Amino acid sequence: MTDAMLLAEALGDVLYTGAIGLILLGLYAMVVPRHLVRIVLGLLLVQSGVNLFLVAVGYRPEAAAPILLGGQAIGPVVDPLPQALVLTAIVIGVGVLALALALVVRVKDVHGTLDSREVAERMAAETGDSRLMPETAPGRGAAVPAREMLEDRS
């Protein structure tokens, strides 16, 4: 195994680690925080991680960028298909982000808060639909029984 191949493998490891780390961090940001803007930021991180993963899949060591200059053949190039699709995904991602942020603004206008648990509680109180009530979990929600609340504060 030559030196260049070892370097290429190390580059692949670094890139895949970065992409998967980004996806996991974004997933955490979408699930654990309750602030809606933080959830949208998590969506952005997952999206970036998937884009990086796809472009890294199409990468070949010792290959040129897939751009033809003057119509002549230029030897081996990296896979252009994931790059074209990721370019599309980036643009679609901006649309998704804009839609999510518009929904965030609307939630703020209607409910006056950006805490997803509080929003769910208000909707449950207004409609009388107990299925909208958040599950009892440690936190400052009204759905938490008094005893658990005391333990949580201590």
Partner 1 sequence: MIELALISVLVMIGAALAVVFVRGLMAAVAAAAVVSLALSVLFAVLRAPDVALAEAAVGAGLSGVLLALTLRRVGLWPGSPSGDGDRE
Binding residues for partner 1, rule: CB under 8 A, are: 7, 10-11, 14-15, 17-18, 21-22, 25-26, 28-29, 33, 35, 37-38, 40-42, 44-45, 48, 51-52, 55-56, 58-59, 63-67, 77-78, 83, 86-87, 90-91, 93-94, 97-98, 101, 104-105, 108, 114
Helix (H, G, I), strand (E, B) or coil at 64: strand
Q: What is the closest distance, in whole angstroms, from the C-beta atom of residue 146 to partner 1 in the complex?
A: 25
Report DSSP letters for 11-59, one per residue.
HHHHHHHHHHHHHHHHHHHHHS--BHHHHHHHHHHHHHHHHHHHHHHT-
Least Å from the CB of residue 145 to partner 1: 25
Measured distance CA(125)–CA(83) in Å, rounded? 48
Nearer to partner 1, 11 or 150 (CB): 11
